[in-house]
Chain A
Amino acid sequence: MPSWIPGAFRPLIVTAVLAGVVLTPAILTVLLWGGDFTDALFLVFAVTMLVSALAVVTMRDIIRCGLAMIVCFGALAGIYLIAGATLVAAAQVVVYIGAISVLILFAIMLTETKAAPSRLVFQTQAGPAGVAAVVLAVVIAITVTATDWGELGERLHTATDTLARVLFADYVLPFEIVGVLLLAAVIGGVFIAKRERGESL
């Protein structure tokens, strides 16, 4: 941002630019291609998600990366709602925003060193990594559009009670195994991160 802009205006300008980036595709879709309200909402969530994901991988200050990741997860929960997966959206908010993000923010603050934020953010392989990511995105897009997905239905809403019946009847063994896996992960995490006697962080 140029230096002649007074510091007090910078948050306003950043907010205005972000709102424009997020809202423009939705408004254009509604006005030009006759999309309905759901399309506009989908585009708002999609653009928010992609912009905040880019912020996660490119920003210099890692605390802000963690906060942008929360925004990304929230927008993704909105997309789950539009896709009709209500319980997955709720689980996304509870588990990702409520638990994993807080865990990651704690880990960031535990491993913050004074030298870290001012130094280089990217490895030397950042250029090839960018090329590889773009190639990957293009290949996935081509594959998706070229594949015939067979018989597709209308976007359907997943009722939570039928989901619960499926989860506790057909998928009860995977459900129990995931429970054991979570227990093992908690015990393993505590054991690995445990401080040795006489050692100080």
Chain B
Amino acid sequence: MIANSLDAYLILSGLLFAIGTFGFLARRNAISMLMSIELMLNAVNLAIVGFGAFVVGLAENGSVIAIMVIAVAAAEATVGLAIVIAIFRNRRTPLVDEYDAMRR
């Protein structure tokens, strides 16, 4: 019933994406923002897997694209966290509202 409808997967994905959006916009800590980005990527992945499971003719393609997204997310996390650590080394804080060097 529920687990057999595409709408359930897509709405769940939309909710997770909205939670990630809120975290990205609202948190002060740079690593929290990166975690919110991971949540949003996972939400998109859930939508892709849902389409792959239900749309006729998409069967394996959905899973392949989801695995590619996971790999790209791993690359994104590596570079993002490296940038955060590099900035932290200069500014001594992980809070993004104290990164104001280009505003002064």
Report A's interface with B, CB cutoff 8 A: 29, 33-36, 38-39, 41-43, 46, 49-50, 53-54, 56-57, 62, 65-66, 69, 72-73, 76, 79-80, 82-85, 87-88, 91-92, 95-96, 99-100, 103-104, 107-108, 110-113, 116, 119-123, 125-126, 128-130, 132-134, 136-137, 140-141, 144-145, 149-156, 158, 162-163, 165-167, 171, 174-175, 178, 181-182, 184-186, 188-190, 192-193, 195, 199, 201
- Docked-complex contact A140 and B11, CB < 8 angstroms: yes
Task: Specify which chain A residues have a CB less than 8 angstroms from the CB of B31 in the assembled complex.
Answer: 62, 104, 107-108, 111
Smallest CB-CB separation from B12: which chain A residue? Answer: A46
* Top 7 closest pairs, chain A to chain B, by CB: A140-B14, A57-B23, A129-B25, A185-B75, A133-B22, A137-B18, A42-B3
Say whether B97 contacts A80, CB under 8 Å. no
Contact B11–A144 (Cβ < 8 Å)? yes
Indicate the size class of the contact surface on chain B.
Answer: 35 or more
Which residues of A are found within 8 Å of B102, using beta-carbon distances? none
Whether the pair A153, B78 counts as a contact (CB closer than 8 A) is: no
C-alpha spacing A112/B29, complex, angstroms: 10
Closest Cβ neighbor of A131 among chain B residues: B22
CB contact between A113 and one of B23, B38, B45, B93 (< 8 Å): that residue: B93
What is B's interface to A at a CB cutoff of 8 Å? 1-4, 6-23, 25-32, 34-36, 38-39, 42, 45-46, 49-50, 52-56, 59-64, 66-68, 70-79, 81-86, 88-89, 92-97
